[in-house]
């Protein structure tokens, strides 16, 4: 995994502040592979229940907190609600690492 312990702590804290203490976070994509270089940060945030409007506002807050603390970098965020069957969610769980 190509995130420092400090970066992981920042991501966890920002997710809990933005989505609530029950938020679960997965890192997936190229940052999981230690043999690769560069790449964006792909995150899946699993929540128990969040409306589309509240999810969008939480995602904006989350990305703002990360930009403020991690600096400008490409970060993709997927929000997973219960019963979510999108292929990207399956890929994130299958190939990702829980933070």
The domain defined by 5-98 carries CATH number 3.30.460.10? yes
**Exposure string (b/e) for 26-52, b if CB count within 10 Å is 16 or more?**
bbbbebbeeeeeeeebbbbbbbeebee
pLDDT tens track, the chain, 99 positions:
789 999 999 999 999 999 999 999 999 998 898 777 777 899 999 998 776 678 889 999 999 999 999 988 899 999 998 899 999 999 999 999 999
**Exposure string (b/e) for 75-97, b if CB count within 10 Å is 16 or more?**
eebbbbeeeeeeeebeebeeebe
């Amino acid at each position: 995994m190509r995130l420092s312990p400090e970066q992981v702590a920042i991501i966890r804290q920002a997710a809990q502040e933005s989505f609530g203490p029950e938020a679960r976070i997965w890192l997936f994509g190229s940052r999981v592979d230690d043999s690769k270089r560069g790449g964006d940060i792909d995150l899946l945030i699993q929540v128990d229940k969040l409306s589309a409007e509240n999810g969008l506002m939480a995602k904006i807050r989350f990305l703002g907190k990360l930009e403020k603390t991690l600096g400008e970098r490409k970060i993709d965020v997927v929000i997973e609600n219960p019963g979510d069957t999108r292929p990207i969610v399956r890929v994130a769980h299958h190939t990702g690492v829980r933070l």
